[in-house]
Amino acid sequence: MDVKAIRELFPILNQEVNGHPLVYLDSAATSQKPLPVIEALDEYYRQYNSNVHRGVHTLGTKATDGYEGAREKVRKFINASSTEEIIFTRGTTTSINTVAVSYGRANVHEGDEIVITYMEHHSNIIPWQQLAKQTGATLKYIPLQEDGTISLDDVRNTVTPKTKIVSMMHVSNVLGTINPIKEVTKIAHENGAIMVVDGAQSTPHMKVDVQDLDCDFYTFSGHKMCAPTGIGILYGKKHLLEQMEPVEFGGEMIDFVGLYESTWKELPWKFEGGTPIIAGAIGLGAAIDFLEEIGLEAIKEHEHRLAAYALEKMSTIDGITIYGPKEADKRAGLVTFNIADVHPHDVATVLDTEGIAVRAGHHCAQPLMKWLNVSATARASFYLYNSEEDIDKLVEALIKTKEYFSDVF
C-alpha cells in the first residue's frame, strides 16, 4: 500500500497543529474523509440535490439513483443477499436501538435473557438494559479473559435456551480484540437466540461477509470508514425484518394512510421514515468505492503491521500499561494504554501540543473500564493513512511526556 499517495487524498492531514505536522491517531472515534467522498458530496449538493422517491423530475431521479445505488454498494460490501436487507440509519447507535425496540419488544418477555459482554460500547449496552427493564428479561454478561478476549466456553456457559438475543461487538474499540462472531452466532442459534453484531470498528478495517457469519443483524457507522457523519447501516435477515414493525412513522415509509389506519411500504423503506440521509448515503457509496479500490485485505494487513510495530515500540516505554491482547494477530489497529502516574487526559493534552491527536477517557465503555480497574485510558488508533513514522512520533512524544511529568512531580 502506498501510504504517501493515500495521504495526499486526505486534505485534512496536510496541515500543522500547534506548530507540528498533524499526526492523526483517532480514527476509531471518526476517520478522516478522502477527496472522492468530499467530491461526491460536493457534486450532489451542486448538481442534483433533490428529494428521493417522490419527484418525477430529472434531479429527483438522479438523487434516487444515487441513494439506491449506494444501497446496492453496501449490499455488495457486506455480501448481503438482497438490498431489502440494507436499511440506512444514522449510525451504529440508531441501528442497535432499532433492533432492541422493534425486534426486542415483540420477542423478548419476562424470564428471557439477553446476553452481551463486558467489553461492549455503551451503544451496545444501554439499549439492552432498557429492553430488559421494559420486558422483565435478565441482562447477562459474558466475562473476559485476562488478555481481554472472550472464550467460547464462557459463551456456552452464559447463553442458555432462555436467551433470546446475543449482542456483541465484532472488534473492540478499547482492547482491539477481534471477537469470533461466526462461532458465537452458532452457539446463539443452537440455543434459539438471534445474533446482533456491533460492527462499528470492523467494517472500516476488514472484509465482512454477513452470510458467512450467519448473524441476524449487523450494524455499522459510515463516519468511521471514510464516509460522512450521520449515515449508518442496519443489516437484518429479510425474514426477521419482514416480521418487525417500524420504529419511526411518517412520510416516505407508508403505502396507504387512512384516517385511523395506515400500511407500510415494503422492505427496506418501511424502516426509513422521513426524508432520508441522501447525501450521507451517496457519501457512503463513494467511501465504499474508495476502500474497495485500495482493498480491504490490504488495509487490514497494513493496520496489522502498524499494530505490531506500535505494540513493540510502545512496550519499551518504562511504566506503560497496554490493554488488550499482547499478540498483534489477535487484535485490530489500535493501542489503548496508560502511563504510570500520568493521567490519560494529561497524556492526550501534551501529545496535542506536539500535533498528535489521540483520545483519552472511558471510550464509551465504562463497564470495561471497571473491569480493567481504571477510570480512563489513552488510545492511539490507526487507519490506512497512518505510517510507522506516525508511531515513531507518538513514542518519542510519550517518552517526552513521561520525562516532563517525572520532572514536574
Helix (H, G, I), strand (E, B) or coil at 286: helix
Closer to ligand PLP by Cβ: residue 104 or 228: 228
Going along 69-216, which residue ranges are E strands? 86-89, 113-117, 138-142, 163-169, 194-198
Q: At what angle do helices 344-353 and 388-408 cross, to 10 degrees?
A: 120
Identified catalytic residue from 29, 38, 254, 364: 364
Closer to ligand PLP by Cβ: residue 126 or 317: 126
Strand partners, 163: 113
Helix (H) or strand (E) holding 380: strand 377-381
Residues in the chain: 409
Closer to ligand PLP by Cβ: residue 200 or 397: 200
For residue 48, CA distances in Å to 41, 88, 102, 231 come to 10, 20, 34, 19
Q: Respond yes or no on whether the N-terminal peptide bond of residue 268 is cis (omega within 30° of 0).
A: yes
Strand partners, 198: 169, 219
Closer to ligand PLP by Cβ: residue 102 or 221: 221
The number of residues that bind ligand PLP (CB under 6 A) is 13
Pairing mode, if any, of strands 113-117 and 163-169? Answer: parallel
201 binds ligand PLP (CB under 6 A): yes
Closer to ligand PLP by Cβ: residue 31 or 124: 124
Task: Name the minimum Å distance from CB 121 to ligand PLP.
Answer: 4
Interface with ligand PLP in residues 87-146 (CB under 6 A): 91-93, 121, 123-124
Q: With the C-alpha atoms ordered 291, 296, 300, 301, is the resulting torsion angle positive or negative?
A: negative
Among 195, 200, 307, 368, binds ligand PLP (CB under 6 A): 200
Rounded Cα distance between 351 and 366, Å, is 24
Interface with ligand PLP in residues 360-389 (CB under 6 A): 364
Among 86, 169, 358, 394, binds ligand PLP (CB under 6 A): 169
167 binds ligand PLP (CB under 6 A): no
331 binds ligand PLP (CB under 6 A): no
Determine how many CB atoms are found less than 10 A away from the CB of residue 45. 11
Task: Name the minimum Å distance from CB 199 to ligand PLP.
Answer: 8
Closer to ligand PLP by Cβ: residue 169 or 188: 169
198 binds ligand PLP (CB under 6 A): yes
Which one of 193-201, 267-275, 310-318, 400-408 is the stretch in contact with ligand PLP (CB under 6 A)? 193-201
Helix (H, G, I), strand (E, B) or coil at 217: strand
Rounded Cα distance between 406 and 299, Å, is 38
Closer to ligand PLP by Cβ: residue 121 or 304: 121
Cell numbers for 326, please give them: 499482547
Closer to ligand PLP by Cβ: residue 123 or 135: 123
27 binds ligand PLP (CB under 6 A): no
Determine how many CB atoms are found less than 10 A away from the CB of residue 274. 11
Cell numbers for 287, please give them: 467511501
Among 97, 173, 177, 401, binds ligand PLP (CB under 6 A): 173
Active-site residue flag, 226: no
Which one of 45-53, 85-93, 181-189, 395-403 is the stretch in contact with ligand PLP (CB under 6 A)? 85-93
Rounded Cα distance between 150 and 244, Å, is 31
Rounded Cα distance between 277 and 279, Å, is 6
DSSP 349: H
**Contact string 268-297 vs ligand PLP (x = CB under 6 A):** ------------------------------
Task: Name the minimum Å distance from CB 1 to ligand PLP.
Answer: 24
303 binds ligand PLP (CB under 6 A): no
Q: Which residue has the cell 506500535?
A: 310
Which one of 197-205, 233-241, 305-313, 348-356 is the stretch in contact with ligand PLP (CB under 6 A)? 197-205
Q: What is the largest CA-CA distance in the chain?
A: 74
Interface with ligand PLP in residues 240-269 (CB under 6 A): none
33 binds ligand PLP (CB under 6 A): no
Provide the annotated active-site residues.
Answer: 364
Residues near ligand PLP, by CB under 6 A = 91-93, 121, 123-124, 169, 173, 198, 200-201, 221, 364
